[in-house]
Chain A
């Protein structure tokens, strides 16, 4: 499994766009990237997943460059309720998937 590296913490203000970058230099051909969000005293919640280029859903966008050695989770116009820990994970697209959580990024959104 490819190791991931993320910033430990980020600060933002309400209404701003937040971009959290994850480095995964050893990503393999069959690996894909998944982001989870975790609020205090709750389980992680799936946000978005992608293999290459750009993926967008109702809550976030995921940008993956051609070399796939990094990915960026983009949260448009964050609110106070987006304060959480965000985990980037890399998993293989074959066989059983074991999630190995890294340290995550603690995002604090202020008024």
Chain B
């Protein structure tokens, strides 16, 4: 089945040690998103790629960056993780910005722990 796949499901890293989370999709959607979801909170958009164009949310810390080498893959890089970055990171895709009839499709997330 076509889907959004996030690897790994669980990631542990050390305080300050760079970490990369990955997302792949078989839906051939042109928009890919990264969300951060902390415990008992709603998902919060960090940034998205519309085709090759990167769009950062105004309040996303500089510590978070992203790469999209091709349509199918997108990476979330956290340069120097702090304890406050422990969260579930969700990748999502949509076709053409997700207008009516084109909802976002989410992966099951990567839960990041910081030691």
Q: A residues bordering B, Cβ < 8 Å?
A: 32, 34, 36, 41-46, 49, 51, 87, 91, 93-104
Contacts and interface: CB of A to CB of B under 8 A. Distances in A.
28 contacts: A32-B100, A34-B103, A41-B109, A43-B4, A43-B92, A43-B109, A44-B43, A44-B90, A44-B106, A45-B106, A46-B103, A49-B100, A49-B103, A51-B100, A87-B42, A91-B100, A93-B99, A94-B99, A95-B97, A96-B31, A97-B99, A97-B104, A98-B48, A99-B45, A99-B98, A101-B44, A103-B42, A104-B42
Contact of B108 (A42, A91, A94, A98): A42
B107 interface: yes
Contact of B97 (A41, A49, A97, A103): A97
Interface residues of B, number: 26
A97 B29 CA distance: 14
A41 B4 CA distance: 15
A36 B92 CA distance: 13
For the complex of A and B, the 3 pairs showing the least CB-CB separation, nearest first, are: A43-B106, A101-B42, A97-B98
Interface string B23-46: 000000001000000000011110
B75 interface: no
Nearest to A91: B98
A45 B43 CA distance: 12
B50 interface: yes
Contact of A43 (B42, B90, B97, B100): B90
